[in-house]
Structure 1
Amino acid sequence: MSETGAKVIPFALDGQDEGPERQVGRFDLAQAVRIAEAIVFASAEPVSRKTLDARLPDGADVDAVMEEVRRQYQSRGVNLVRVGDAWAFRTAGDLSFLMSRDAVQQKKLSRAALEVLAIIAYHQPVTRAEIEEIRGVETSKGTIDTLMESSWIRMRGRRRTPGRPVTYGTTDAFLDHFGLEEIRDLPGIDELKGAGLLSPRMPSNFAVPQPPSDLDLLADDEDELTDIDLEELGLLTPRVTED
């Protein structure tokens, strides 16, 4: 016992015998891993850090626990993957072809929608006018709506410029669908050229923009969407005031 009365739990160094105190520590980690595994398995959506922190035992290190779950599943038929600031179980990459046999055929995105999605992913936060400037053609509202319905993009805020245009960005569903842990995992220029998605004769000064590291933070020139903004955009039913 320490002078304060708290129990000191020693940990054996590599090569030393492990005492009963070490076994207690190991059991606690194992129990936290089992709890985290059950929570993620039971959820239809990726489980956020906030949810795990609230439901794991007090004092549990969420990162350490989830890394242990990932390690245990790395050679199995399903793997634990990180999606932004959340975790989910997904079919192992080398077995995904088995699932595609019974997969429901999804409607393919148009070329325009793919272009808009790519621009939003790499340039976010970006307005519709900025998307059109990059593409060089007008972007229909239907294209934006299609991407919104897929849950791959969202309205982030409003730009502090005349007219206060809406800014767009990607979602965790976008990361999940394309197998990305974070937006910074998007392919760079060399990877895009290697995949044949860019011409090898691109201008020497061409560069792929680096998306922001934290998509939840508003940019310096963005304002948060308010209820009034949502009502104006048709995303929130106007409140009825009683006389």
Structure 2
Amino acid sequence: MDDNEIRLFIEAALLAAGRPLSVDQIHGLFEADAAPEKPEIRKAVKGLIEEYETRGITIVEVASGFRMQIKSTMAERLHRLWEERPPRYSRALFETLALIAYRQPITRGEIEEIRGVSVSTNIIRSMLEREWVRVVGHRDVPGRPAMFGTTKQFLDYFGLKKLDDLPPLADLADWETLRVQLNLPAVEEEPGDEAVTAVITDLPVPGRFDDADELDDAVADGSGSDAVDPEDAEAERSPGADTVTALTEERGFEEIVATEWPEPVDADESGDLDTDKDIDISASGG
């Protein structure tokens, strides 16, 4: 099989799959006696990516492999092709998701401390059900609150290969910049919505992952803790959480700024982070 045949086969496979394919998966699609070496597959995919630069479709590398998709510049103009309306999410959900993505591993209480308002139960449940986030461990403080981190599905959905591909926080001056950089869908504001200042940068949030590479590895292989389903995560809440109204769910933020953050709490010390407080993203890869 020559180089051109390899490229044609890979192109057809990516189109037919409708999902990301890893190099190993692509390799497994070839007949055993005609399968190219994996470096040849990568070379062929690179050639396809270059070939598609002037087309309306593209091939992107995400956490799970390579995926064929329409270019983001074409997505809004083709929305009439899809009969089902994409799910709509509040700005508060995207803000919470951004905090988890940038400051993971992070607890619900820490998110609320940063945002200054309660985090809706529906927001946590929605992100868990979408498999954008998962419980990666528990903070070693009294109450052992769950710590949340992003998943491989999060990276795939937002067209990212690894966490380092997230736009630098220094470039995110406000909500609209964050929305554009992460290719988030527009959200509707409810009348009377209040701006909530969000604090994402310069927060020394302690956790089990010391750097992005270590966390990327945990996201990729699913390690970090035993699997926890939404019901278990729900059990982490403090009594009385259901009394918080849904109003806070729709609140967003206007500006990302740096501010003070409580000192890390050691396992043998008491502190305000011992329990989580009472609580109340479509993209190009969606």
With normalisation by structure 2, the TM-score equals 0.57
Q: 1:23 aligns to what?
A: none
Q: 1:80 aligns with which of 25, 37, 59?
A: 59
Deviation at 1:144, TM superposition (A): 0.5
Distance 1:142 1:185, change over 3 A: same
Q: How does 1:1-243 map to 2 (within 5 A)?
A: 28-56=2-30, 57-61=35-39, 62-103=41-82, 104-155=84-135, 157-159=136-138, 161-162=140-141, 163-193=143-173, 197=177, 207=202, 212-213=212-213, 215-218=215-218, 224-226=224-226, 233=232
Structure 1 residues not aligned, in runs of 5+:
1-26, 236-243
**Which whole-Å deviations, capped at 9, do the CAs of 1:214-243 have from their partners, x for residues lacking one?**
644239xx974336x6698389xxxxxxxx
Residue 76 of structure 2 aligns with an amino acid whose one-letter code is: F
Distance 1:193 1:208, change over 3 A: farther
SS in 2 for 1:193: coil
Partners of 2:106 and 2:115 lie apart in 1 by 13
Residue 212 of structure 1 aligns with an amino acid whose one-letter code is: A
SS in 2 for 1:161: coil
Residue 64 of structure 1 aligns with an amino acid whose one-letter code is: K
Structure 2 residues not aligned, in runs of 5+:
179-196, 205-209, 235-286
CA contact (8 A) 2:139 2:147 kept: no
**Which whole-Å deviations, capped at 9, do the CAs of 1:73-99 have from their partners, x for residues lacking one?**
222221111112411111123322331
Partners of 1:105 and 1:43 lie apart in 2 by 23
Deviation at 1:42, TM superposition (A): 1.3
Distance 1:197 1:207, change over 3 A: farther
Partners of 2:57 and 2:42 lie apart in 1 by 19
Q: 1:14 aligns to what?
A: none
CA contact (8 A) 1:183 1:211 kept: no
**Identity between Structure 1 and Structure 2 (%):** 30
CA RMSD of aligned residues (A): 3.6
Larger Rg: 1
Partners of 1:224 and 1:178 lie apart in 2 by 22
Partners of 1:211 and 1:105 lie apart in 2 by 38
CA contact (8 A) 1:158 1:167 kept: yes
Deviation at 1:119, TM superposition (A): 0.4
Residue 225 of structure 2 aligns with an amino acid whose one-letter code is: L
SS in 1 for 2:38: coil
Distance 1:72 1:28, change over 3 A: same
